[in-house]
Amino acid sequence: MEMMKNKFDLVSDDSDHKYRLENITGNCFGDTKSAVYKRIMKEWKILEKSLPDNIYVRAYEHRIDLLRAVIVGTAGTPYHDGLFFFDIQFPSDYPNNPPNIHYHSFGYRLNPNLYPPGGVCLSILNTYPAENSEKWDPSNSTILQVLVSIQGLVLNENPYYNAPDAVFSEKKSRAYNEEAFVLMCYSVYHLIKKPPKNFEEFVKEHFRERGHVLLAACREYANGRVMPGYYSCNSNNSNINSLGSSTTKVIKVNKPFKKSLQCAYRRMYTKFLECGASLKGFRFLELEIEVKNSKSNGGDGIFKKAIGKIKVALGSKKKNKMST
């Protein structure tokens, strides 16, 4: 796929960019001899050569002060196989101040560092209290460092602990991962419904290839075979890692999470079909564990209870006859 091959590229349509109406008249961006222009060109070269896997950036031919980036959620996190879009703007005094960044949230709060209005809370952006060594450094900090920080520090395996007031709690961390995964699934629905410009084919092909993985993950999480965030399509659902489940142990799944997964599953399924994904066998989210329990407990279990009641009844009748 062309979009996947080119991690960094130039595009022309900036009509839906968050910052398209800002700094339009700034002469510093059009002056090829200015320090700001030269620094931005340097940033472009760094991005072109050094972008890591699963981060893609588009620059704009007529607005060198704007960028758009997408980060693919990493395996082993509740954000796996999702897409996270960010609109970036270089301020007119760049690099004296860090870039402005807007996250495409669709109104969801799926991470302590990512706000529903689109704000990104991060030390290197000077939007999070931190030591001077972690803040934006005009001499050394780059857009690449910002994107890698979001990928590795924000969209991580235990986002609950990103909150400054978080205390160690596996239960709370798991609950946060559950919510984060569901909200990411809702975001997937909206992304396919209205993909960011210049990434339409990227979004469509990504979910055409990975849609079945997200649906399979919903099944595993809903049926308690894997802890939320740890599904792997290559794992055969067994011994995924220390936090995953094996075939001999079922994780208890709360009903609200199950219900949320069912809703998200239905929404994603329809959109994945629109992308052309092959979804044979994924029409419904089967709750297999419930079926097994109902067969075992509702079959043999009910039979044993019924026999027990009959024995008690027969025993009481015998006693009554003997007393008479």
- The yes-or-no answer on residue 275 being catalytic is no
Q: Are strands 55-60 and 8-11 parallel, antiparallel or unpaired?
A: parallel
Closest CA to 191 of 42, 307, 81: 81
Of 121, 185, 233, 263, the active-site residue reads 121
Instruction: Give the tokens for residue 191.
Output: 């992304």
- Distances, alpha carbon 133 to alpha carbons 41, 101, 128, 138, in Å: 25, 21, 13, 12
In the beta sheet, which residues pair with residue 66?
89
Which residue is associated with the tokens 């992308």? Answer: 275
- Distances, alpha carbon 323 to alpha carbons 314, 315, 316, 317, 320, in Å: 14, 13, 11, 10, 5
Number of helical (H) and strand (E) elements in the chain, helices listed first: 8, 5
In the beta sheet, which residues pair with residue 56?
70
What size, in residues, is the chain? 324
Instruction: Please tell me whether residue 280 adopts helix, strand or coil conformation.
Output: coil
Closest CA to 14 of 68, 77, 55, 83: 68
Cis? peptide before 95, omega within 30° of 0: yes
Q: Which residues contact 78 (CB under 8 A, 6 or more apart)?
A: 157, 159, 177, 178, 180, 181, 184, 228, 229
Residue 45 contacts residue 36 (beta carbons within 8 Å) = no
- Cβ-count burial of 80 within 10 angstroms (0-12 exposed, 13-18 middle, 19+ buried)? buried
Q: Which residues are catalytic?
A: 121
